[in-house]
Amino acid sequence: MAANGEGEGPEARPPPPSMPQPTRTGDFLGKHRLSAAIARLNQEIQFLEKELNELETMETSAEACKEVFLSTEGRSDALLPVTPGPENPTWHRWFQRVRSSHSRRWWTSKGSSDIS
């Protein structure tokens, strides 16, 4: 910014005419929104600090990994080639003959991937 060499101090310099003056309403809304955003951020800070404290005494991932491992054992699963029982007979329904009244298609037997 070029210095004013004419003698008047900066306090006396009016704002450039092209800069719009903020309205009282606009200023209020700006302050209101900012205050609300700051309040939300402060609340977020509290919760993040709480989570950090929680992590001080939290167990490592090993325990949860073990739980995942154990939870899949012993559960029968129709889509696995090897599964604990009991085997539900209705699992086979997708490969049994089903007559559709709207067509003469018959689904092929188990073991074939052809669809006729």
The answer to whether the CB of 105 falls within 8 A of the CB of 97 is no
Helix/strand/coil for 101: coil
Q: Which is nearer to another protein, 4 or 92 (CB)?
A: 92
Q: What is the smallest separation between the CB atom of 4 and another protein, expressed in angstroms?
A: 24
Q: Give CA separation, 39 vs 20, 28, 30, 42, 49, in Å.
A: 29, 16, 14, 5, 15
Which letter does DSSP use for residue 19 in this model?
S
Q: Which is nearer to another protein, 2 or 68 (CB)?
A: 68
Q: Which residues bind another protein (CB under 8 A)?
A: 27, 30-31, 34-35, 37-38, 40-45, 47-49, 51-52, 55, 58-62, 64-69, 71-72, 75-88, 90-91, 93-95, 98, 100-102, 105, 107, 110-113, 115
